[in-house]
Every structure is written in structure tokens, then in C-alpha cells.
Amino acid sequence: MKVLVINCGSSSLKYQLIDSESEIALASGLCERIGIDGKLIHKPTGGEKKTFDVQMDNHEVAIKLVLDALTDKEHGVITSLDEIGAVGHRVVHGGEKFASSTVITEEVLKAIEECNELAPLHNPANLIGINACKRLMKDVPMVAVFDTAFHQTMPEKAYLYGLPYEYYEKYKIRRYGFHGTSHSYVSERAYEMTGLDKNNSKVIVCHLGNGASVTAVKNGESIDTSMGLTPLEGLIMGTRSGDIDPAIIEFIAKKENLNLSEVLNVLNKKSGMLGLSGTTSDFRDILAASKEGNKRAIIAWETFAYHVTKYIGAYTAAMNGVDAICFTAGLGENNGAMRALICSYLGYLGVELDEELNSRYGEDLVVSTSNSKVKICMIPTNEELKIARETVALV
């Protein structure tokens, strides 16, 4: 079956058409600046990347352009839309309602809408994408795959905050966690690569990209994760602060004369690597600047690694041990220096990196030595493939 995977943001839309038998992406692409002007970048696998500047007033126009590109005589990869057997949609927040992926029905749409206030930047955009696809592909089954679903196995002691319990009861304030599709895909790959028995395994997955999170996966289930009610908690990220003392919020507000949402904007968009370095949120640029001796870049790089290491320590304790630690996403799967720096703290666990293997990137590889007591894996994440698999399984 050919599955169209859609990841809809507020002004952008990423897509892949995946052949589920071969698990190969036939084409992928991106619509940007939806509602502003519009740009479509379409890449048939093995073919040349095409860029089109086209007006996209809304997401429906964008999806129509994607469907045209997929069926185009020159750069298309299918002859008719009838070849698309199903559509898989990434949905960021499924609240407590969705512990797994689900076929999209009217009730499911309503339930996703009810989660809007938990992810006001993401869920409404995801819904717009789903509704646009429904109008353009009336009889094609659609599936929602949630970033939060994998973490619904967390026990209460991991997801409750130390707040008045009635806030959890009334408002569902709790840890949800994100990047679940990636953490689930990577942990599954780790069992295959290392021969670990899923039902008797302790794995820590470090998803280190512009957004970053760490998850403890015990016997195949997420038992704790670093992101919380929103993706702001946990690790220091590209522009997000991650964990801070909550009292800092009022302190900044008073000192800088800002209101609450302005402070949250600082924590979401002006902090993290960008805030620490003062120049960039991009890890490649941070690394380049730190090699040139830029002190702020050096401290940003080191602080990031230190925080990842602390989560690894915490999750090793939570699971009473760890069999494998996996690195994924932009930084985690591509950068040996960051993996080496993090692992340099882990001698107490008997971690030993193989320098030659760790200098490689972008492939599924165990990068620890055969003597290492914990397997260190680098695993390029593939959220789209995971979404396609879930979609096929459900339809």
C-alpha cells in the first residue's frame, strides 16, 4: 500500500509518500509560508529536487499542490490519486484520550480538538491538515499518530507534578511527553540491532535535535520522559530553556517589565542554545564557533551535554540499570563529538565508546566497544516510516 504521511504545522506542511511493502519513501517534500505567499519543495526519491513559488492561501491549497506534484507527469511518482491507500497524520497532543494511534472518525476529530488547549501551537494546525485531506481525498482512510501516545504507559509517580492534586483532576495538568513516535521507533530498532529482548530490557533514548528529549524505555514501554505538559520542559534545546526554577518567571517579569506570555516567549524562543550563545540556536554553528574558541558557544555546548548526562543518570536510577543508550535526531545521529562528550561522563556505567565507529554518522550503528557494559547506539530516527507502519496496521 502507498501511504501519504502528513506533518502539518501552522505555516508549513511536510509530506512523504511511502510504499509500505518496501518501506521506501517514493517522494518527500515541504510546503512553507502557507498563508503568507508559498513555496513547495518536492523531491522524488532518486530524482531532482524541484522548487515552486506558488501562492498558498491555506493548507487545503498546499495539500492540493502536493497531490498535483505527486501525480505530475514529469516529477510525479504515481499516475493517479487512487494509488494512495491511506493517509497518516502526525498529531502532537492526544492528551490522556489516546494511548495509541487511531483511525480518524468524527468523534476522534472532536477529541483531538478537545486537546487544543494543551498544544495551542500544534493541534489546531494538525486538524486543519486532516480536514483539508478529508475534503480532497474523500474515500481514503486516515489515521492519527500522536506524539504523546507512546508515553501514556508512564506510571502516576512519573507523570504527576508536585502540585495540588485537584489541578490534575480539573485541568489534566501532568507530564505527557512528546517525540513519542521517534522514541518508539528508535527503541524498536535498538532491540533489533543489539539483540536485546524487548520484554527484558532497559533502554534510554536521547532525541537530540532542535527540540530535544530523553525517554526511559523499560520492557518496551515509556516509563518516564523529560518533556512535560508542554515541550518546554526537560533538556536545554535550540531556543527553549528546558528545566528552570519556576520562580524565575516572576523574577524576569519584574526585572524586564514583561507580562506572562512575554516571559514564556523568552523561554520558548530566546533561550536554550540561542540564549546561552547569544548568536545561534543551531548546534552545527555552536560547534563551529566553539572550535574557534568562542567562550559562550563552548559553555552552551558543554551545558547541553551536562544536562543530557543528568537525565541519563536519573533514568538509569529509575530503571535500576540500563542496557542500551540510543542517540537520534539532527545532533544525536550526526555528531560524534556530542556523543563522546556525553559518554565521557558515563564511565561509572562501564560505557566504552569505539572512537572509529563513533566518528561515523547517519547510519544505524552500535558505536560502543565489545567490552562496553552498556551498548551505545546511533540510530537515525524515521518518524514518517513509523507513522506509515501504524497507518497500515490500522487500515
Interacting residue with ligand ADP among 135, 254, 284, 295 (CB under 6 A): 284
Stretch near ligand ADP under the rule CB under 6 A, chosen from 85-93, 187-195, 295-303, 325-333: 325-333
Nearer to ligand ADP, 181 or 391 (CB): 181
Beta carbon nearer to ligand ADP, 180 or 209: 209
Cβ-closest residue to ligand ADP? Answer: 330
- Residues with Cβ within 8 Å of residue 338, at least 6 apart in sequence: 208, 283, 301, 304, 305, 327, 331, 332
Q: Which of 68, 72, 139, 147 is catalytic?
A: 147
Closest Cα partner for 378 from 322, 330, 307? 330
Residue 57 grid coordinates: 492561501
* Least spacing, CB of residue 304 vs ligand ADP, in Å: 10
The answer to whether 335 contacts ligand ADP (rule: CB under 6 A) is: yes
User: Minimum distance from CB of 211 to ligand ADP (Å)?
Assistant: 4
What are 335-344's contacts with CB under 8 Å, separation 24+? 335/283, 335/287, 335/361, 336/360, 336/361, 336/367, 337/287, 338/208, 338/283, 338/301, 338/304, 338/305, 339/367, 339/376, 339/378, 341/301, 341/302, 341/305, 342/206, 342/305, 342/308, 342/309, 342/312, 343/376
* Cα–Cα distances in angstroms (integers) from residue 204 to residues 67, 183, 201, 328, 376, in the given order: 38, 9, 10, 11, 10
Decide: is 329 part of the binding site for ligand ADP (CB under 6 A): yes
298 forms part of the interface with ligand ADP (CB under 6 A): no
HEC assignment per residue over 191-205: HHHHCCCHHHCEEEE
Does residue 211 touch ligand ADP according to CB under 6 A? yes
Single residue of 209, 242, 272, 275 touching ligand ADP by CB under 6 A:
209
Contact between 238 and ligand ADP per CB under 6 A: yes
| Cβ neighbours for 320, distance < 8 A, ≥ 6 positions apart | 202
Interface with ligand ADP: number of residues (CB under 6 A): 13
Q: Would you say 333 is a known binding-site residue?
A: yes
Pair 313, 325: CB distance under 8 Å: no
C-beta closer to ligand ADP: residue 39 or 97: 39
Stretch that binds ligand ADP, among 49-57, 144-152, 191-199, 206-214 (CB under 6 A): 206-214
Backbone phi, psi, residue 31, to 5°? -105, 130
Least separation in angstroms between residue 284's CB and ligand ADP is: 4
* Amino acid letter, 33: R
383 is in an annotated binding site: yes
Here's the x/- map for ligand ADP, 162-201, by CB under 6 A: it reads as ----------------------------------------
Give 366's strand partners. Answer: 377
Q: Is 354 a catalytic residue?
A: no
Least Cβ distance, residue 322 to ligand ADP (angstroms): 23
Q: Does 275 bind ligand ADP (CB under 6 A)?
A: no
Residue 231 CB partners (closer than 8 Å, separation 6+) = 178, 211, 213, 240
Q: How far is the CB of 163 from ligand ADP (least distance, A)?
A: 28
Residues that bind ligand ADP (CB under 6 A): 209-211, 238, 282-284, 287, 329-331, 334-335
Where in the sequence numbering do the catalytic residues fall? 147
